[in-house]
Amino acid sequence: MKIAVIGSGGWGTALAAMLAKNGNEVIMWSFEHAEYERLKNDRENRAFLPGVLFPEGLECTEDISVAKDAELIVMAVPSFAVRSTAAKLSPYISENQIIVNVAKGIEKGTSKRLSEIIEEEIESKCDVAVLSGPSHAEEVGRGVPTAIIATSRSQKAAETVQNVFMNDKFRVYITDDIIGVELGAALKNVMALAAGICDGLGLGDNSKAALMTRGLAETVRLGTALGGKQETFAGLAGLGDLIVTCMSMHSRNRRAGILLGQGVSAEKVPEKIGGVVEGYFATQSAMQLAKKVGIEMPITEQVAKVLFEGADPRNALDALMTRDKKKESGTAWS
C-alpha cells in the first residue's frame, strides 16, 4: 500500500520505518527544511530516534502534495499543529483515502478532539481513524512487542488500519469508541505530569499508585460525561497508556513533571525537555471541559495551578491530601 506519513518527529519516524518493513511504500513528510535534509542524507532520525536506520521502502519529502497519491495518510505532528497541517493537506484529500491520526491531545481554545479537527479541516472528504495506546517511539523503533488500539467511526477504516499496521511485534486491537480513545490519550499526559511531580518531590510508590488510580478515576469521570465508554478507559487507550506514561523515562510529560517537582519553573521546563510537552495543552483543555460539564478533576486542577499559576508542587500535594473525606465509588449505603 502507498502510505504518506505526515510528520517526522520520533513517532512519525518509528511508524514510517515499521510500515516500510511491513512491505508498504512509505513517504515521510517533514515540516522543517533542515530536518528533511538531515533525514534524507542520514537515513536515520538522529535527533528524535537515533539508531533506527531507514529501511528500503521509506523515502523522505518536504512536499505535502505527495499525500494525494497515498491510500493511507498517517498524521504524526504535535497536537498544536494538527489543525494547520490538516488544512495544508486538505487540497490533496479524496474520498477513498484514510487519515490516521497518531497525535495525542485536545485542541487548546476549542477543547475539540483531534479527529474532529481533522474532519473539519478536510471537510469530511475521507474517513478519519485514530491509533493510540501504550507505545514509546524508542521501543517501537527497536521492535519491542507492543499492543495498541485503532478506532474510527467507520468499521472498514479501523479494520484497514489494523491490517496495515499489525505485525508479529505490533498488535493492533480495534474499537468503535473514538471519543474514549482520544480522551484517554490526551488526559494521560496530565497524569504523567502529576506522576513526574510525585517522583521529583521524592515521594514513594504508594503515592504514585494513588495518583495513577485517582487520576484514572477523574479521567473516566470526564471521559464518560463526554460520551466515551467506561471500558475503553480500562483498556489500552486508558489504563495501558497511563501505566506506560507514568512509569517510563521515555515519557517527556513524566520527565517534565520530575523537573517541576524538583523546583524548575513551568516556563523553563519545555526548553530543558527539548520537545513538545503535550500535557501542558491537555491540562488547559481538560480544565475547560471539566468546567463545561461540571465534573470535579482535583488532580488536573492542581497540575494546572503548578503549570499556570506558579503554585508550589508541595502545596498542590497538600491540597490533594487534605480534601474532604470521600467514598471511593458508589455504595449501597444511604
Ligand X SMILES: NC(=O)c1ccc[n+]([C@@H]2O[C@H](COP(=O)([O-])OP(=O)(O)OC[C@H]3O[C@@H](n4cnc5c(N)ncnc54)[C@H](O)[C@@H]3O)[C@@H](O)[C@H]2O)c1
Count CB-CB contacts under 10 A for residue 318: 11
Cβ pair 218, 299 in contact under 8 A: yes
**Closest CB 65 distance from ligand X, rounded Å:** 15
Only one of the segments 3-11, 55-63, 300-308, 324-332 lies at the binding site for ligand X (rule: CB under 6 A); that segment is 3-11
Decide whether 31 or 316 has the Cβ nearer to ligand X: 31
Number of residues that bind ligand X (CB under 6 A): 27
The reply to whether 280 sits near ligand X by the rule CB under 6 A is no
Decide whether 273 or 319 has the Cβ nearer to ligand X: 273
Decide whether 148 or 306 has the Cβ nearer to ligand X: 148
The reply to whether 9 sits near ligand X by the rule CB under 6 A is yes
The reply to whether 10 sits near ligand X by the rule CB under 6 A is yes
The reply to whether 235 sits near ligand X by the rule CB under 6 A is no
**Closest CB 10 distance from ligand X, rounded Å:** 4
The reply to whether 12 sits near ligand X by the rule CB under 6 A is yes
Decide whether 132 or 207 has the Cβ nearer to ligand X: 132
Instruction: State the DSSP string of 68-97.
Output: GG-SEEEE-S-GGGHHHHHHHHGGG--TT-
Among candidates 131, 231, 127, which has minimal Cα distance to 172?
A: 131
Cβ pair 131, 150 in contact under 8 A: yes
188 is catalytic: yes
The reply to whether 37 sits near ligand X by the rule CB under 6 A is no
Cβ pair 131, 102 in contact under 8 A: yes
Task: Mark residues 99-138: x for contact with ligand X by CB under 6 A, - for none.
Answer: ---xxxx-----------------------------xxx-
Find where cell 511531580 sits: 197
Among candidates 234, 244, 302, which has minimal Cα distance to 104?
A: 244
Decide whether 64 or 317 has the Cβ nearer to ligand X: 64
Count CB-CB contacts under 10 A for residue 295: 17
Q: Which of 104, 112, 188, 229 is catalytic?
A: 188
Looking only at residues 42 through 81 of this chain, which bind ligand X when binding is defined by CB under 6 A? Answer: 48, 76-79, 81
Task: Mark residues 133-172: x for contact with ligand X by CB under 6 A, - for none.
Answer: --xxx-----------------------------------
- β-strands 49-53, 44-45 pairing: antiparallel
Count CB-CB contacts under 10 A for residue 117: 24
Distance between CA atoms of residues 252 and 279, nearest Å: 9
223: DSSP letter: H
With H, G, I as helix, E, B as strand and everything else as coil, classify residue 150. Answer: strand
Distance between CA atoms of residues 131 and 103, nearest Å: 8
The reply to whether 278 sits near ligand X by the rule CB under 6 A is yes
Q: Which residues bind ligand X (CB under 6 A)?
A: 7-12, 31-32, 35, 48, 76-79, 81, 84-85, 102-105, 135-137, 275-276, 278
Catalytic residues: 188
